[in-house]
Homo-oligomer: A and B are copies of this chain.
Amino acid sequence: MALQFQIATGNNVPIYRQIADQIRRAISMGDLVPGDQLPTVRALAEQLIVNPNTVAKVYTMLAQEGVVEGYVGRGLFVAARRQLLSEEERERRLAVALDAFFNEVLFLDFSAEQIMELLSQKFKALESTPASSTPKDVK
């Protein structure tokens, strides 16, 4: 099964961030497991109809973050999972994200019940496709 990424228009999220997020997400969800090879810069750029520079930037970023490892001449591979952020940093970022989300919900005037239900569904959908099962042999 080939990976299917999509770049959305209309929201103001920069393209490079959309791609990076989707790769990270695919890894979190187990669609990509450590050792999996990612598409080449050119291939992904063509598939998404995006400037190759943009894809290259994404790969560089992910490599710096450590979620991905590249070997010249062989390609780019999903790295073994490890916790990159400090506990403090994780909590700080969660608090920021939660605050932003909460504010938007309040502004849009949805009820607590609706939100909790929707979020709960999202998590359930995630469980039904269990992540990081049967990792392929790495490197």
A119 touches B116 (CB 8 A): yes
Cβ contacts A30-73/B at 8 Å (1 or 0 each): 00000000000000000001000000000001001010011110
The answer to whether A139 and B94 have CB atoms under 8 Å apart is no
Bound together, the chains give a CA A13 to CA B29 distance in angstroms of 28
Q: Looking at chain A's contact residues, is the secondary structure mostly helix, strand, loop, or mixed?
A: helix
Known A25-B106, A103-B24, A103-B25; contact A84-B86, beta-carbon cutoff 8 A: yes
Q: Give the complex CA separation of A116 and B100 in angstroms.
A: 16
Residues of chain A whose beta carbon lies under 8 Å from any beta carbon of chain B:
9-14, 21, 24-25, 28-29, 49, 61, 64, 66, 69-72, 79, 82-90, 93-94, 96-98, 100-110, 112, 115-116, 118-120, 122-123, 126-127, 138-139
* CB nearest to A104 among chain B residues: B97
Residues of the B chain whose Cβ atoms lie less than 8 Å from the Cβ of A85: 84-86, 89, 108
A84 and B89 contacting across the interface, CB-CB below 8 Å:
yes
- Taking a contact as CB atoms closer than 8 A, the residue among B24, B72, B116 that contacts A120 in the complex is B116
Given A84-B89, A85-B86, A86-B83, A119-B102 contact (CB < 8 Å):
yes
